Amino acid sequence: MRKMLLIIPAVALLSGGGAVALSSKKAPEPVRAVGEPKSCVTISQIRSTKVVDNNNIDFRMIGGKTYRNELPQSCPGLKFEDRFSYRTSINQLCSVDIVRVLHTQGGQLTEGAGCGLGTFQQIEKISTK
């Protein structure tokens, strides 16, 4: 049996489930890599996600660590839709897995482009002060 997890921004849930596009022209915060990249993260440890752009997704973990996944290929519509789903049969999300961009079509969520994940690199913000 395969598990499926939908990642949908909380704003969309609070607005009755409709798609909400949040526009931000702000440049991403500067970050630095910490340690070696990992092939997998434990799904039950994921607290939230943030789509940075069409190539990067940040996975915020319980305990405060953040892992950035740099997709090997650009994922069309990922940043615009700001939500995705994935399926896995284990309690890990790995670099061999695929995320699917979620679109609202006719009032229903539909899966769009399928995009492969890369490795998970722990990151930390760089203080600009």
Q: pLDDT tens digits, residue range 93-116?
A: 999 999 999 998 888 999 988 999
- 11 confidence band (pLDDT: 50, 70, 90): very low
- 13 confidence band (pLDDT: 50, 70, 90): very low
- 125 confidence band (pLDDT: 50, 70, 90): confident
SS3 17: coil
Element holding 116 (H helix, E strand): strand 108-116
How far apart are the C-alpha atoms of 94 and 59, rounded to whole Å? 12
Quick check: 95 and 118 in contact, CB under 8 A? yes
CA-based nearest residue to 51, from 3, 115, 1: 115
pLDDT, one tens digit per residue, over 53-106 is 999 999 999 999 999 999 999 999 999 999 999 998 899 999 999 999 999 888
Element holding 48 (H helix, E strand): strand 46-53
pLDDT of residue 97: 95
